[in-house]
Amino acid sequence: MSIRLTLAVEAQGFVVPEEGRVLVMQATAAHDLSALPRDRVLVVQPLKPDHDGWAAQGFAVAAEIPADERFAAAVVFATRAKAECRQRVAEAAAVTDGQLLLDGAKTEGIDSLLKELKKRTTPSAAISKAHGKAFWIEAGLDLADWLPGERAPVEGFVTAPGVFSADGVDPASRMLAAALPEKLGARVADLGAGWGYLSAAAFERAGVKSLDLVEANHVALICARQNVTDERASFHWADARDWGAKSSIDTVIMNPPFHSGRSAEPSLGQAFITNASRILVGSGRLYLVANRHLPYEATLDGAFAKVTEVAGDRSFKVLLAERPKRAR
């Protein structure tokens, strides 16, 4: 946890200069930034819920590092996705004129990151606490080779390190796409649209006049804009759990997330379902795919008049929910 950041600052090993901005990347709600000067911190966080959480606390926040800006020091919190983590470290190193601190749990690959950096520089002694480590490196290390090069398309789609299903089409999404009817309705919303695979499939159906892609990951949404170029599409960087449509929606499609970090969180998908019932018209339909074991049926039964499994196998189920009970 971020107690390691506090210990690094208090021990005066990690130097936060008295002037200049401090870059913080990948900080989540679980992290504590109280050891840093709030008025000089810029939190770069592409995930909308965490982005908005830091903004609500009074921090300056951005979805990506502003162009042509330099920083006096930087902190990068490790992520489980190795390629994404290395990219964020390289991006921070390229714009930081002082020390760069790296902090993460063992389950997030912090030991591997330290090992790799020891081959290229001399990191500080690591602070080991709470099943993780924090250490820092001095300015000037060129990590340009850690930046992603041109990625091979995934069946013609653009993806990026760290986004869901970055290396291949998710089999559950593929099942849902195949199960969609020939006619979806005029106004469609894709909640948790990711890099746009389901939305692209939806545009192959007849009668679609508008499609809202709602995605909390700014990086994934950038990919979606490249993958879904139909002029009927609208893109929303938003939390699908509380996104509100400007007009009622005829059909919602979704493959909702069910993990927060390493822990299973079915409540995420349940919140997607609840919001779908809010934004749909009275005759609206929800097409949802989920892992077979996830307990979504009770939530669906409470929010919709009729729920049917329309496709599935031993691993996944595609559910059709019709006529929301709480339609606007």
Phi-psi region of 276 (alpha: psi -120 to 50; beta: other; left: phi over 0): alpha
* CA dihedral over 184, 188, 189, 195, signed as positive or negative: positive
Which has the closest alpha carbon to 238: 265, 275, 199? 275
Residue 132, amino acid: G
Q: Are 242 and 214 in contact (CB under 8 A)?
A: no
Helix (H, G, I), strand (E, B) or coil at 313: coil
pLDDT, tens digit, 9 for 90 and up, residues 171-197: 999 999 999 999 999 999 999 999 999
**Residue 146 pLDDT grade (very low, low, confident, very high; cuts 50, 70, 90):** very high
Write down all domains in the chain, each with its CATH number in brackets. 3-146 (3.40.50.150), 171-324 (3.40.50.150)
* Residues contacting 220, CB < 8 A, separation 6+: 160, 163, 164, 193, 194, 195
Strands 210-215 and 187-191: parallel
Element at 178 (helix H, strand E)? helix 171-179
pLDDT, tens digit, 9 for 90 and up, residues 199-241: 999 999 999 999 999 999 999 999 999 999 999 999 999 999 9
Q: How far apart are CA 194 and CA 183, in angstroms?
A: 22
**pLDDT number for residue 263:** 56
Q: How far apart are CA 183 and CA 96, in angstroms?
A: 52
Token duo for residue 210: 């508008």
pLDDT, tens digit, 9 for 90 and up, residues 269-283: 999 999 999 999 999
* Residues contacting 1, CB < 8 A, separation 6+: 30, 31, 32, 105, 129, 130, 132
Helix (H, G, I), strand (E, B) or coil at 289: strand
Q: How far apart are CA 231 and CA 79, in angstroms?
A: 35
Q: How far apart are CA 89 and CA 46, in angstroms?
A: 15
Does the pLDDT of residue 243 top 80, yes or no? yes
**pLDDT number for residue 262:** 53
Element at 253 (helix H, strand E)? strand 249-254
DSSP 87: H
**Mean pLDDT across the chain:** 94
Residues in the chain: 328
Cα 306 to chain center, whole Å? 31
- Residue 294 CB-density burial (10 A; 0-12 exposed, 13-18 middle, 19+ buried): middle
**pLDDT number for residue 265:** 77
Strands 249-254 and 280-291: parallel
